Amino acid sequence: MNIRLCATAIALAWPCISNAAEMVALAETVVTATRQEARANEVMASVEVIDREAIEQSGQSSITDLLSGHPGIRISTNGGPGSSASIFMRGAESRHTLVLIDGMRINTATTGQPSLEIIPLASVERIEILRGPASFLYGSEAIGGVIQIFTRKGMQGLHPELFVGIGSNNTREVDASLSGGSGRLSYSLGVGYSDTDGINANPDPVKQPFYYQPDRDGYRNTRFNGSVSLGFRTRDEIGATVLRTEGRNHFDAFGTAYDAYLDKTVTSFGAYMVNELASGWMSTLRVGASEDELQNHDSAAAPSVFRTRQRQFVWQHDVKLPLGSLLAAYEHLEQKADGTTAYTVDSRHINSLLLGWGAKIGSHFVQVNARHDDNSQFGGKTTGHLGYGYQLNPEWRARASISTAFNAPTFNQLYWPDTGFGGGNPNLKPEKALNREVGLNWERGVHAVSVTYYNNKVRDLISGWPPENVDKAKLEGLEVGYSGDVLGYRLAAGVDLLDARDTKTDKRLRRRADQAFFAQLSRKQGAWNWGMDWNAEGRRFDDPANTRKMGGYALLDAFVHYRIARDWRIEARANNLLDKRYETAWGYGTEGVNVFVGLRYTPM
């Protein structure tokens, strides 16, 4: 890392703050960082929460669009709305970020990646982002971090909601929901539809000569979400959640003028029961299933189909001890891949045991975790975590941690049939990681500053075809962020520095910028709520040899909301106001300046 650049980043992010705000703000409660409810400022990890208000303020329609402006995350898309997207958290591979919907895994077993691009924000209540390895809590795939999506939930009373909007590229959207509750019963139902003519996914005949077609590649999405919960006795509760989203994304197929398209579907269902077995002893039993299906219509012939089905069982116990609290859990996961590809092995199961203990002892914070995963394909794997924090004074807190992680090979990497170009390698080993991290947090009133340095070394990386465990990677970075109120404005700003490279070749990993910056300014005043977002990324390379260079870019977006009546609000957003031409993947198009205007009905 460039030490001078690091010091400059910290200096730029450090706020000039009035001493008037003396009380430390109450931190948000998170569950993803420890699998237990905890205050965000007491966990030994870098964690962020995006709540419903921030989601609506963003004006975005997909999770990938929303996440692209957050620290530690790089997004690469193969075209416009709904196109296949890859997420690189802290420089890790796209298959190294675990995505959960209400606790259920949705990463595919065939490629390892989640279909985040089709999950609509209209169905989402909040998102928790856990940066850094978390296999000691969640097992495979969590080398880069975890993104947990919580769907909409009910609340007391009756709350209908309606949203309609139109925008550039003939974009249209309509969402309707009804939520409510009485006593300890709550429920929520939501439906929605959106479509757009999109943009030309491959606009450059020089960069993509075999894919170039002078047409627009549209996208449409339909979705449904629901939840219900019922409390009984004092603290016991049962409930269920469901989300289903279907998307059709047009694309330019190789060497043909056929109007190709992908049909993508993600379904997640979960049921849970929470019981207080004794004073201070809570039991949570969760069962669920998820399915990810992709149908590739790249010609008039029958489509190729890839489908992952996952069934999950979790029994977790949270016990308050005289000193701290204990976490003990058992998990069972079944994964099955099917479709038009004939895998020699198409299913596997994983049994997992995990233990954790965390405590606040005076000014000291301690977290210890261990997890063992027994995979039917390659045997056992144990990961662990040790975190320590110290409250230097009411405003300053330091933290440090060390953890291990792993990622199981995908079915494509293991069992893809040999069609003349080589097939999968059933002898692959899991990819492994060792992460060391230190952080410093400062809080005063509504102001907060965080600085995090991490060093994550990944070995036995799977690459090439046929795939082999041949590569090693170094993921080293610095994250600096500030949030607070300044002169009546809400301000958030940050710098994200990353050195992600293949240690064997000393080349930078593809599509990861070494620098990223963001700033968000907003203000609420009477019936008005408005703001601006600025996001910038440095140069990147699109190939392992670092010969295809993609330049850096900066995007300026703005939004304005106006409450025209007690229950009615107009929402408008303009993206890429400077009409910047840029790429996140070589030769694939991105949207120029575009606007979206909507009307929201939310009875108060």
Write a three-state SS string for 463-518: ECCCCEEEEEEEEEEEEEEEEEEECCEEEEEEEEEEEEEECCCCEECCCCCCEEEE
Task: Determine the Cα–Cα distance for residues 210 and 305; give it in Å rounded to an integer.
Answer: 23
pLDDT band at 62 (very low <50, low <70, confident <90, very high): confident
Backbone angles phi, psi at 136, to 5 degrees: -65, -15
**Residue-level pLDDT at 23:** 31
Which domains can be identified in the chain, with CATH numbers?
3-601 (2.40.170.20)
pLDDT band at 234 (very low <50, low <70, confident <90, very high): confident
Share the mean pLDDT of the chain: 92
Residues 195-207 pLDDT 10s: 999 999 999 999 9
CA separation (Å) from 281 to 315, 317, 367?
13, 7, 19
pLDDT band at 8 (very low <50, low <70, confident <90, very high): very low
Confidence (pTM): 0.93
**Residue-level pLDDT at 27:** 60
* The token pair that represents 567 in the structure block: 């229950």
Residues 144-169 pLDDT 10s: 999 999 999 999 999 999 999 999 99
Task: Determine the Cα–Cα distance for residues 417 and 579; give it in Å rounded to an integer.
Answer: 45
Q: CA angle, 75 as apex, 222 and 431 as ends, to 5°?
A: 105
Task: Determine the Cα–Cα distance for residues 222 and 459; give it in Å rounded to an integer.
Answer: 40
Backbone angles phi, psi at 250, to 5 degrees: -80, 145
CA dihedral sign, ordered 457, 465, 110, 61: positive
Residues 568-589 pLDDT 10s: 999 999 999 999 999 999 999 9
Is residue 4 over pLDDT 60? Answer: no
